[in-house]
Amino acid sequence: MELKGKKVIALGERDGVQGGSIVACVKSAGAEVVMEFTACFV
């Protein structure tokens, strides 16, 4: 997926895919991460 030039807000889940993992993926696709957040949705 080509995300070059796009801005991303990464919302992760503590027991699932964490925000840091999402950030690594979208940065490798060329996006700029403007906010990263990991929470527990119970």
In a domain, 15, yes or no: yes
In a domain, 31, yes or no: yes
In a domain, 19, yes or no: yes
In a domain, 35, yes or no: yes
In a domain, 25, yes or no: yes
Q: What distance, in Å, lies between the first and last C-alpha atoms of the chain? A: 31
Q: Is the model more confident about 41 or about 22?
A: 22
Owning domain of residue 31:
7-39
Give the phi and the psi of residue 35 in degrees, each rounded to 5.
-155, 140
Positive or negative, the CA dihedral 21, 31, 35, 11 is negative
Residue 39 pLDDT greater than 90, yes or no: yes
Name the domain count of the chain: 1
Residue 1 pLDDT greater than 90, yes or no: no
Residue 23 pLDDT greater than 90, yes or no: yes
The residue-averaged pLDDT of 4-21 equals 94
